[in-house]
Amino acid sequence: MRHLLALILVSLTLSACGLKPLYSGGSTGAVASTLGTVMVEPIAGKNGWLMRNALNDRLGSAQSTSAKFRLVVALDDQIEGFGVRADDTVTRERRTLRARYQLISLTTGETVLDATAGADAGIDVVSSEYATIASENTALENLTQRVADQIVTRLSLYAGGE
């Protein structure tokens, strides 16, 4: 009986903690409405093309007439070898993708959010150059998706607190 009473008391305190669902209201909620008004600026390079497409997929890409915010993203894509054999051939690589992004209000021109996101992946270097290049490209595609998720999550937190 005491356990039941303790459980009820704990559940009452949890309900008063002030947490609210980030995506409350679904597609008509504050977060979804704000994310739908973000226009992603073009980003240079293949990795930029992949990132912009991933962001537009997640944000529901705003048209320039309905946009209230502009998202500017600068990418830093690095591949470094770190596993080396006795004959100085690389056996392992690390691909790192970092993004610095700024959310700019189109009405005021003010930067309302300035942050970074990043991810990295390990790549095995094999005897086939084609297979290694394919692995590097796959790693870039996966990293782009992960970094885009981080960016949209941070934008959602901003929109939820707006």
Per-residue pLDDT reduced to its tens digit, 91-102: 899 999 999 999
Residue 152 above 90 pLDDT? yes
pLDDT of residue 84: 79
Is 0.75 topped by the overall pTM?
A: yes
Q: Give 12's pLDDT tier (boundaries 50, 70, 90).
A: low
Domain that holds residue 111: 20-160
User: Long-range contacts of range 76-85, CB-CB < 8 Å, 24 or more positions apart?
Assistant: 76/100, 77/45, 77/47, 77/140, 79/123, 79/136, 81/125, 83/125
CATH number at residue 35: 3.30.160.150
- Residue 91, CB-side half-sphere exposure with 13 Å CA sphere: 6
User: Which ranges in the chain belong to alpha helices (H)?
Assistant: 2-15, 30-35, 45-59, 129-160
In a domain, 15, yes or no: no
Q: Which helix (H) or strand (E) holds 91?
A: strand 90-105
pLDDT of residue 17: 58
In a domain, 14, yes or no: no
In a domain, 8, yes or no: no
Of 9-18, 67-76, 152-161, where does mean pLDDT reach its minimum?
9-18
Which residue did the predictor score with more confidence, 80 or 5? 80
Query: Which residues lie closer than 8 Å to 136 by C-beta, 6 or more apart?
Result: 79, 93, 95, 123
In a domain, 78, yes or no: yes
In a domain, 6, yes or no: no
In a domain, 1, yes or no: no
pLDDT of residue 33: 75
In a domain, 2, yes or no: no
Per-residue pLDDT reduced to its tens digit, 13-71: 665 555 555 555 555 566 777 888 999 999 999 999 999 999 999 998 766 668 899 99
What is the number of structural domains in the chain?
1
In a domain, 110, yes or no: yes
The number of angstroms, rounded, from the C-alpha of 101 to the middle of its chain's C-alpha atoms is 10
pLDDT of residue 31: 74
Q: What's the average model confidence in pLDDT over 151-155?
A: 94
